[in-house]
Amino acid sequence: MKVPVPEVVPPLAALGPVHFIGIGGAGLSAIAKIMLARGVRVSGSDAQDGPALEALRELGARVYVGHAAEQLGDAETVVVSTAVRDTNPEVVAAQERGLRVWPRSAGLAAAMQDRRVLAVAGTHGKTTTTSLLAMALLQAGADPSYAVGGDLAQLGTNAHAGAGDLFVAEADESDGAFLVYHPHAAIVTNVEADHLDHFGTEEAYRAAFDEFVDTIDADGLLVVCADDPGAARLADLARARGLAAVTAGEAETADVRAVGLTLDGGGSTCRVVDAGADLGELRLQIPGRHYALDALAALAMGLRLGFAYGDLAAGLGAFTGTRRRMERKGEAAGVRVYDSYAHHPQEIAGDLTAARAVAGEGRVVVAFQPHLVSRTRLFGAAMGQALGAADDVVVLDVYLAREDADPEVTGALVADAVPLAADRVEFVPDFDAVPEAVVRRARPGDLVLTLGAGSVTQLAPRILALLEQRR
Segment (H or E) for 395: strand 392-395
For residue 195, what pLDDT is reported? Answer: 55
Half-sphere exposure of 204 (CA within 13 A, CB side): 11
Where would I find the H helices in 399-443? Answer: 412-415, 434-441
For residue 200, what pLDDT is reported? Answer: 67
Segment (H or E) for 101: strand 100-103
Q: Between these two residues, 455 and 69, which has the higher pLDDT value?
A: 69
Contact in structure between 290 and 354 (CB atoms under 8 Å): yes
Phi, psi angle pair for 425, to nearest 5°: -130, 135
How much is the average pLDDT of 313-322?
87
The rounded percent of the chain whose pLDDT value lies above 70 is 96
Which segments of 114-237 are extended strands (E)? 116-121, 145-152, 157-160, 166-170, 185-188, 221-225
Span 114-318 CATH architecture: 3-Layer(aba) Sandwich (3.40)
pLDDT above 90: residue 147: yes
Phi, psi angle pair for 283, to nearest 5°: -115, 125
For residue 323, what pLDDT is reported? Answer: 67
**Least confident segment among 93-102, 224-233, 405-414:** 405-414
Q: Which residues are catalytic?
A: 126-127, 170
For residue 360, what pLDDT is reported? Answer: 84
Phi, psi angle pair for 31, to nearest 5°: -65, -45
pLDDT above 90: residue 265: no
For residue 198, what pLDDT band results from cuts at 50, 70 and 90?
low
How much is the average pLDDT of 441-469?
92
For residue 72, what pLDDT band results from cuts at 50, 70 and 90?
very high
- What is the C-alpha separation between 115 and 56, in angstroms, rounded? 23
Query: Beta partners for 337?
Result: 330, 448
Query: For residue 188, what are the contacts with CB-CB under 8 A and spacing of at least 6?
Result: 121, 122, 209, 212, 222, 223, 224, 225, 231, 234
Query: Beta partners for 248?
Result: 225, 256
Per CATH, the number for 14-102 is 3.40.50.720
For residue 430, what pLDDT band results from cuts at 50, 70 and 90?
very high
For residue 151, what pLDDT is reported? Answer: 77
How much is the average pLDDT of 305-332?
88
For residue 50, what pLDDT is reported? Answer: 82
For residue 38, what pLDDT band results from cuts at 50, 70 and 90?
very high
pLDDT above 70: residue 324: no
For residue 446, what pLDDT band results from cuts at 50, 70 and 90?
very high
Tell me the pLDDT tens digit for each residue of 334-378: 999 999 887 788 888 888 988 888 888 899 999 999 988 888 888
Q: Where are the domains of the chain?
A: 14-102, 114-318, 327-470
Give the class (CATH, top level) of 327-470.
Answer: alpha beta
Tell me the pLDDT tens digit for each residue of 286-308: 878 888 999 999 999 999 999 99
Query: For residue 327, what are the contacts with CB-CB under 8 A and spacing of at least 6?
Result: 153, 321, 338, 339, 340
For residue 62, what is the DSSP state? E
For residue 20, what pLDDT band results from cuts at 50, 70 and 90?
very high
Sheet architecture: strand order including 244-249: 157-160, 145-152, 166-170, 116-121, 185-188, 221-225, 244-249, 256-264, 267-274, 277-284
Contact in structure between 119 and 187 (CB atoms under 8 Å): yes
How much is the average pLDDT of 426-441?
95
How much is the average pLDDT of 315-327?
80
pLDDT above 60: residue 196: no
pLDDT above 60: residue 186: yes
For residue 17, what pLDDT band results from cuts at 50, 70 and 90?
very high
For residue 184, what pLDDT is reported? Answer: 97
Q: Which amino acid is at 299?
A: L
For residue 341, what pLDDT is reported? Answer: 81
For residue 267, what pLDDT is reported? Answer: 85
For residue 379, what pLDDT is reported? Answer: 86
Three-state DSSP at 51 gives helix
Tell me the pLDDT tens digit for each residue of 99-146: 999 999 999 999 999 899 999 998 888 888 999 999 999 999 999 999
